[in-house]
Amino acid sequence: MAHDPGFDDYVGQQTVEVFEAASGKAVACYGLWGDGVRRIGAPQGGRQQVRIRGQTGWIETAALGGSSLLEFYFIDVGQGDGVLIKTPDFRHIMLDGGYPRRSQPTGKSAADFVDWKFAKDYGHTSVVLDAMISSHIDYDHYGGLDDILDVAQAHELDCQSISVEAFYHSGLSHWAAHAGQSEGLGPWSKTQDGRSWFTRCLDDRSSAQSACGGQGPQLRGYWRAFIEKVLGARRADGAQTPIVRLDQDAGWLPGFGQGSQVPIRVLGPLATSINGHPAVMRLASSKSQNTNGASVLLRVDCGPCRVLLTGDLNANAQRRLLDHYEGREREFASDVAKACHHGSEDISFPFLNHIKAACTVISSGDAEGHDHPRPRVVAASGLSGYATYKGDELLTPLVYSTELARSVQVASTKAVSAGQQRWAEAALQGVQLEYETVEPGGLRPKKGKRSARGSRLMTKLLYGLVNVRTDGRKILAATMNEGDGSFSAKPFESRFL
């Protein structure tokens, strides 16, 4: 269902300054192409007072006159993925959400950005999602969705409630031991073509209720707890949220089919039917190869523009997809692509060549040991990308990384105050700070101590959010600048015009 916040106008320029006063030069904030505004009073001296991005300021009237766009917010969730999609008619899709807030070093997940979007930008008290999608069953993808389903959990979140019109998933699940089988991804079997398939899949709401109901095969761990929360979700009309499994035979995301303003093509995961029951492809003995390889693969279209969302697909899955779509590889061709698996090297270069993205966004993590994005993937994204030039200037391909777009501001501790008392730096040698640190995805905070003297404080954190917006022809990719909060924006056109 559309959730139109009722904006009066939209920014029509690539970027725009929002001033503190009608006649002043001080900048309150910056706006981006397609940002919605609410007019306040009459224009003065060529400027209009507006409410924009949760702030009030004055904007050049010539900068208005735009329209609502298709918007992708590639959210910096640390290790993991989180993408909020807003269509021109204000339908909203949440694809993944990173680790949950309690397991994040910053204490924030995708829920915080979604909360800002609806509470501050729209001025509403409820989050309204037309679709929530867990691309696959790794915690760094669905953990933050758990937070979104519980927006009232923390005082930092302003929205009071949430409605979800439908929940979608890949089918592959974490199962507890059952009927002599150990816990894991469930039993599997081979078909006559020699391929292997997991034969125990989560399917619809009834399937989820059974898998959490105590009889028969049961879900386990954090995935079970999350699905139990999905079972408690409601649509805007109060009805229970449908639960739907996706695979290549779905064709189009329900409600976003051909003829829609923004049709969404479901290209994977690959699944089949064995003895009348759904079965998801099995790629290897490695659990991670199978969970990542079963990621939901979506292509979002807007006019000629195409955006491909790939989850954590690996080379094994990409090769299987190329086999399945032989002769139809153009299905993968896209202007913008989210890089597979945070910039892992486990990719098929022919698969990237079929995508040939003009803009690649890598949701790169912070966890030590992952080292994402890998240099070869950054290079491969450029080599396989769609190249355009203006004179001797390279316009595309563009490669973004959410981690590289993030920045922090650090300061030295010079004094400590409490009420009327103040201790200068020299007196802090004997003062001990006790703290807790959380590793990305960590479940148990690690405690530590250090002297207050010389300790560093993080005074500012700029999240590495990557904005991608399009009217179906022109595409804009933008990140926020560290120094003043303005936007660095790169425009290009869809190659499918």
pLDDT of residue 368: 47
- Asked if 281 and 323 count as a contact pair (C-beta separation under 8 A), the reply is no
- Residues facing 451 on adjacent strands: 432
- Structural domains of the chain ordered from first start: 9-67 (2.30.30.40), 70-401 (3.60.15.10), 407-462 (no CATH)
Write the CB contacts of 196 (distance below 8 Å, at least 6 apart in sequence): 188, 189, 190, 281, 282, 283
pLDDT of residue 418: 82
What letter represents residue 98's amino acid? G
Radius of gyration of the chain (CA): 24
Write the CB contacts of 454 (distance below 8 Å, at least 6 apart in sequence): 412, 413
pLDDT along the chain (497 residues), means of 10: 85 97 92 97 95 96 97 87 95 93 78 93 94 95 91 76 96 92 92 94 97 93 96 96 97 94 97 95 93 97 97 94 97 94 78 96 65 71 91 94 64 79 77 71 69 68 81 96 87 96
Task: List the one residue out of 379, 390, 314, 299 whose CA is nearest residue 347.
Answer: 314
Three-class DSSP category at 1: coil
pLDDT of residue 4: 81
Helices 139-148 + 221-231 axis angle, to 10: 30
In the numeric block, which tokens belong to residue 364?
A: 């790169």
pLDDT of residue 181: 85
In the numeric block, which tokens belong to residue 356?
A: 């040939």
Q: Which DSSP string do the residues of 30-63 spell out, in sequence order?
A: EEETT-EEEE-S--BTTEEEEEETTEEEEEEGGG
- Asked if 146 and 111 count as a contact pair (C-beta separation under 8 A), the reply is no
pTM for the whole thing?
0.91
Report helix, strand and coil shares of the chain as percent, to nearest 5.
20, 35, 45
pLDDT of residue 129: 97
| CA angle centred on 492, ends 488 and 495, rounded to 5° | 155
In the numeric block, which tokens belong to residue 462?
A: 């700029």
What is the torsion angle, in degrees rounded to the nearest 10, for the CA atoms of residue 223, residue 226, residue 227 and residue 231? 170
Task: List the one residue out of 448, 451, 456, 335 whose CA is nearest residue 385.
Answer: 335
pLDDT of residue 87: 97
pLDDT of residue 137: 96
